[in-house]
Structure 1
Amino acid sequence: MNISANRVVAKMEEQLALLRTAVKQNDQQAVREYTSVIEGYCQLLKDQPSINQTGKVASPLVEPQPIPPQPVTPIQPASPSPTSDQKPGSLFDF
């Protein structure tokens, strides 16, 4: 459902006029109710994708997808070097 921003703002202005009256009359319950309704209209405008004044939704920006980290392969420690009492082995000994 596309709701134009102008229409939402017009409804907010109606509620704001009622809120002003409630404030003048010191009606706390009505002040809370009108404030909640205005807050709902604000949230409606915030939650919708970019809206131009005619109410048409602009194309949303495409955010790049994060690249998942590559699994880390542990490196095997090198075998200890031969000590003086050990014979050096072949190059092919692992």
Structure 2
Amino acid sequence: MKIPYMYFEKDDLSKLILLLYRQLIAWKISVLTVYNPEIAAYILKNPSPALYKKQISREYLASKTIVAALKAANKNLQDGDGDCAFT
């Protein structure tokens, strides 16, 4: 199962993870890929039903202006965020 992007309230992170774990078990998912940094960090640092966990990373090409704007706004670039620029 792959979760390319997800927006949620920070206060709901633990509830979201619990729901995610329930679905993994119910659907007998053997692989979960998460690119959201908050979700990934939580899963890596806390107990989970996973037998094995590893960190993966993705790199994007972006102009210095866009990178600076994202950092200034404290935002993360997620899958699909730039799709309108290419359609």
The TM tier, using the shorter chain, reads under 0.3
In the superposition, the TM-score normalised over structure 2's length comes to 0.28
Structure with the larger strand share: 2
Specify the structure having the higher radius of gyration (Cα). Answer: 1
* More relative contact order, 1 or 2 (CA 8 Å, 6+ apart): 2
In the superposition, the TM-score normalised over structure 1's length comes to 0.26
